[in-house]
Amino acid sequence: MKRLWLVFAQTVTVAVGVWFVVATLKPQWLGLRVGATGGSIAVIEAPQTAGSAAPGGSFRHAARKAAPAVVSIITSKAAARNPHANDPWFRFFFGEPDDQPQAGLGSGVIVSPAGYILTNNHVVEGADEIEVVLNDSRRARAKVIGTDPDSDLAVLKVELDRLPVIVLGNSDALQVGDHVLAIGNPFGVGQTVTSGIVSALGRNQLGINTFENFIQTDAAINPGNSGGALVDVDGNLMGINTAIYSRSGGSMGIGFAIPVSTARAVMEGIVRDGRVTRGWIGVEPNELTPELAETFGIAPGQGVIITGVLQNGPAALAGIRPGDVILEVAGQPVGNVSALLSAVAGLKPGESTPFTVQRKDQRLELRVTPGERPRARARAR
């Protein structure tokens, strides 16, 4: 037994020695790659993987597919001239006025070979000049086709050929927990890709836009990312990055994107008509509290109470009164103010629509002919 153990030990020692000699002198025999540093020291490198194979958990293919269609947007706005700028006493006390143009930075997404770009309204609002910089370093002046402050979206157009175009995905199929990538130009450092998951869907009542139905994500979104792309793991556009919740000005893991379903509808309206046409009935809605719901005999989360009605507005002409609770619009239940606004906005102006209303202990069916929603001013962000 002792002799067998001695033979085994000698065999292992010889094998290790042979492997060491071969790895040092002829590493290619073992499938190892030899490289040399600047000092000509031979080192052993891991064999290269195939160029098309991505490591497990990598999103390189999604980034490679979507990134070329994400652009940087540089805006400039002439500084407002002070009426006292030529007064020598004003200059003596307050110094020379700052006449330098104001510069802005954001992102955008090319959605059509014709040169149409989706971005945020607040990125281009008030700009005198807009320049778009592609990922391949090409630059072009952009023209504003139209804006929609209610959804904080804008459509630009550039005259360039061979434009990379992003693929529009189905944002309605997103689920909480899905992986997503945010692509944009944060702080002007250059195109950047960050990853995260969908943290929540249907976020509203945030006071950001009039119509809110945000995708919430923890993918890092920072100043300069506004108007950039939120894509899925296949590189398809899921949303337009719009805002963040932050106490410091930087990312804190709560970002919001406008779903591509909303962005597409707004873009089509702007390109077709030059503006977005929405329905409007002239009411002041409020959330139905549990106490009021109990008073009306309505289950909590069903309906919106009307606290004000515009005189001679569409709702008033249809018979809706303050104190009524709107339960359904065109057969679709409305459980909160955001749902009611979205349902009414989706109505065609001038086309009679059924509304289900609870008035005290009566349930009424009223026909409302919506008008066209007035244009809103952009919100301060």
Determine which one of 72, 107, 151, 226 is catalytic: 226
d(CA 35, CA 45): 7
Question: Which is nearest to 338 in space by CA: 261, 285, 266, 265?
Answer: 285
Q: What are the beta bridge partners of residue 103?
A: 76
Tell me how far apart the alpha carbons of residues 3 and 156 are, in angstroms, rounded to a whole number: 85
Cα-based distances in Å from 64 to 68, 181, 323: 7, 12, 55
Active site residue 137: no
Measure Cα distances from 343 to 150, 280, 332, 340 in Å. Answer: 14, 10, 8, 5
Active site residue 58: no
Q: Tokens standing for 94?
A: 């307050």
Closest CA to 181 of 63, 302, 75, 88: 63
Do the beta carbons of residue 276 and residue 373 sit within 8 Å?
no
Give catalytic status of residue 248 as yes or no: no
Selecting among 107, 148, 150, 152, the annotated active-site residue is 152
> Is the separation of the CB atoms in 151 and 262 below 8 Å?
yes
Contact 184, 107 (CB under 8 A): yes
CA 340, CA 357: separation in Å to the nearest integer? 12
Catalytic residues: 122, 152, 226
